[in-house]
Structure 1
Amino acid sequence: MVLDAQGTNATDRAGLNGRAPRCDHVDQLSEVAHGPPQCKECVALGRPWTRLLVCLTCGWVACSDDSRGGHAKAHYEETDHPLVGALEPRSTWRWCYVHRRAV
């Protein structure tokens, strides 16, 4: 058994490779309906976006960090909603802003 700094079993929280802790935010997800497939902020500014992300806490849709506006990250900074997913059919990609990695 591997213990972390708090003396709890770190192996239980390990990711697939056994090194990165499991993201507990994933366990807190419930199914949410997402908004329309557009970044409202970019539409208001007349800007295009590269990719759309959906907040997995509330369903807010916004542009990704590689878009000019980076409105999905701005939503996280305003709300502390930690997880986003790609708004693409059949995509399983998710990002945790807290852990700064894909989960």
Structure 2
Amino acid sequence: MSKETSPALAASQESRNMALLIWIGSIFFGFIPSLILYLVKKDDAYVQDQSKEALNWSITATIGYVAGVILTFILIGVLVLAALGIIHLVFCVMGAIAASEGKTFRVPFALRLIK
């Protein structure tokens, strides 16, 4: 899941703080914080990497939420939505902890749509 940063992704304190804000913002605002910083911070490799990962996870979670809403018509969707909400919170907190330590974080179940 998380690994040490490579020398190419050595993160400054400012980069780690931005990555931390990306993951915390993803809890409350979905893909918006990661998309904004992905488009704005092209010069910072660590922020770019973590914003891509958070964006990929947010897109995956959004697809899961849509599937859960559709499945509520057959009553299993409530369980899907509850499980996905807990998983989303856990992965975003794990990403925030890794970002505060300057490590890269990979969500194990995220679709890698943005490379």
TM-score, structure 1 as length reference: 0.32
| Bigger-Rg structure (1/2) | 1
* Structure (1/2) with the larger helix percentage: 2
Q: Higher relative CO (CA 8 A, sep ≥ 6), structure 1 or 2? A: 2
* Structure (1/2) with the larger strand percentage: 1
